[in-house]
C-alpha cells in the first residue's frame, strides 16, 4: 500500500510517526508532504521519513488563501508521481481535494472542530476520526474512537520517557521545573483570541520563579525580560521535557493535552475549550481558565497552589492511569483500520465492535 500523509503542524508529525514506522515495517510505502513551519522539517528529518516540502507557511489570511492554491497544485503533482492508494491527514483541505480528484480515499483526524476548516475538507473526505467525548456531529463519515489523538504518540505502548533530556535541559535528576507555553495566535481558529497580556506573562514567570525553575516555549517573540527563560532543546525531545515537568501553564491546547497523557499537571488558558480538553479536565488532568484578566490572575494563583502540593506528580500519574484504562492505543487502531480498509469501516461501525483489542 502507498500512503500519502499531509502535515500542517509539528503535532501532526507526532500523530502519524508511529503509524508510519509500523506500516513501513510491514512493507508499505509512506510519503509525507508538508510546509516549512516551525519544526516540521526537523522532525521529519530526525525521524528518517521521506517527505516533500512545499515551501513557506503563510500566516496572513491573504497568504493562507494564496498558499492553499499553491499547495493544492503541489500536492496534486506530487500525488500524480507517487500514486498513493490512500491519503491521511489531520484536517488537510489540500489532501482531501486531491484524494477526491484522484478518486482515492482520504482519512482524517479531527479534534478542534473549527467548522470553517471542517466545511472545506469534509465533502472530499471519506472517514473522519474523532474522540468519543462530546462534540459537534460530523455526520455519517464520522467514526468515534475511545481516545485522544495525543495517544497516537504518548500512549505507554509507543512512548517511553528518556531522562537524558534532563542533561540537555540543564537540570539535575531530582530538580523540579515548570514549562510555560505561549502561542502566536495566527492560526485561522485563533481569530479573536489573545492569551496572556505581556504584563501577565512577566508576572507569571516572576511568580513561578520564586518556587521553581521555569522554562518558556514560545511560538512568537518574547518580551526582553523573559528571553533568558527560553527553552533550548531539540524539538523532538519536548515530550520527554513535559513528562518530567512538575507543571505546564500555557495557551496551547495540544501541549496541555500532551501533559494530560503523561500525568503532568496542566493549566490551560483559552476561551475556547475543545471537547477533548473538557474531557481531560473531567479526569482532573487539566485546569481551565479564560483569557480575560480575572482568568489570567486565577491561573497564576492556581499554578502556585499546585506547586505547593507535596506529591502532585504521583497524584496526576494516577489520574492519567485512570484515563488510560478507558482509552486505546490510537496507533494500533489506525494501523489495523488502514490495512483492512474499506472492510474495516463496516466492522468498526458494527454495534458489537470491540475497541478493547487495541489497548
pLDDT tens string for the chain (359 positions)?
999 999 999 999 999 999 999 999 999 999 999 999 889 999 999 999 999 999 877 666 666 677 778 999 999 999 999 999 999 999 999 999 999 999 999 999 999 888 889 999 999 999 999 999 999 899 999 999 999 999 999 999 999 999 999 999 999 988 999 999 998 755 544 444 577 899 999 999 999 999 999 999 998 888 899 999 999 999 999 999 999 999 999 999 999 999 999 999 999 998 877 789 999 999 999 999 999 999 999 999 999 999 999 889 999 999 999 999 999 999 999 999 999 999 999 999 998 999 999 99
* pLDDT at 28 (0 to 100): 98
Q: Are 270 and 202 in contact (CB under 8 A)?
A: no
Domains in the chain, start-ordered, CATH in brackets? 2-155+328-358 (3.40.50.2000), 165-324 (3.40.50.2000)
Cell numbers at 323, concatenated: 484515563
132 phi-psi bin (left φ>0, alpha ψ -120 to 50, beta other): alpha
Helix (H) or strand (E) holding 178: strand 177-182
Cβ atoms of 154 and 190 closer than 8 Å: no
In this prediction the pTM is: 0.93
Rg (CA), the chain: 20
Pairing state between β 142-145 and 286-289 = unpaired
Amino acid at each position: 500500500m502507498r500512503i500519502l500523509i499531509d502535515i500542517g503542524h509539528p503535532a501532526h508529525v507526532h500523530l502519524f510517526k508511529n503509524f508510519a514506522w509500523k506500516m513501513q515495517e510491514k512493507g508499505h510505502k509512506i510519503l509525507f508532504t508538508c510546509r516549512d513551519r516551525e519544526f516540521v522539517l526537523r522532525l521529519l528529518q530526525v525521524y528518517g521519513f521521506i517527505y516533500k516540502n512545499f515551501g513557506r507557511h503563510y500566516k496572513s489570511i491573504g497568504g493562507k488563501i494564496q498558499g492553499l492554491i499553491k499547495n493544492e497544485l503541489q500536492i496534486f503533482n506530487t500525488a500524480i508521481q507517487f500514486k498513493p492508494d490512500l491519503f491521511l491527514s489531520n484536517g488537510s483541505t489540500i489532501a482531501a481535494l486531491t484524494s477526491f480528484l484522484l478518486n482515492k480515499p482520504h482519512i482524517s483526524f479531527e479534534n478542534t472542530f473549527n467548522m470553517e476548516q471542517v466545511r472545506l475538507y469534509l465533502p472530499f473526505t471519506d472517514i473522519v476520526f474523532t474522540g468519543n467525548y462530546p462534540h459537534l456531529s460530523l455526520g455519517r463519515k464520522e467514526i468515534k474512537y475511545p481516545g485522544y489523538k495525543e495517544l497516537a504518540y504518548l500512549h505507554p505502548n509507543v512512548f517511553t520517557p528518556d531522562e537524558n533530556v534532563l542533561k540537555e535541559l540543564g537540570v539535575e535528576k531530582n530538580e523540579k521545573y515548570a514549562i510555560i507555553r505561549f502561542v502566536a495566535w495566527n492560526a485561522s481558529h485563533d481569530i479573536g483570541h489573545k492569551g496572556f497580556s505581556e504584563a501577565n506573562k512577566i508576572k507569571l514567570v516572576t511568580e513561578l520563579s520564586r518556587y521553581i525553575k521555569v522554562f518558556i516555549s514560545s511560538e512568537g517573540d518574547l518580551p526582553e525580560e523573559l528571553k533568558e527563560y527560553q527553552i533550548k532543546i531539540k524539538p523532538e525531545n519536548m515530550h520527554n521535557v513535559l513528562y518530567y515537568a512538575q507543571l505546564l501553564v500555557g495557551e496551547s491546547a495540544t501541549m496541555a493535552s500532551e501533559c494530560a497523557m503523561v500525568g503532568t499537571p496542566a493549566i490551560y488558558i483559552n476561551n475556547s475549550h475543545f471537547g477533548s480538553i473538557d474531557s481531560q479536565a473531567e479526569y482532573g488532568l487539566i485546569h481551565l481558565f479564560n483569557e480575560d484578566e480575572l482568568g489570567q490572575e486565577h491561573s497564576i494563583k492556581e499554578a502556585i497552589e499546585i506547586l505547593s502540593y507535596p506529591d502532585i506528580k504521583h497524584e496526576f500519574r494516577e489520574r492519567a492511569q485512570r484515563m488510560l484504562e478507558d482509552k486505546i492505543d490510537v496507533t494500533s487502531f489506525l494501523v489495523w483500520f488502514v490495512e483492512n480498509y474499506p472492510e474495516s469501516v463496516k466492522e468498526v461501525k458494527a454495534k458489537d465492535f470491540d475497541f478493547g483489542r487495541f489497548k
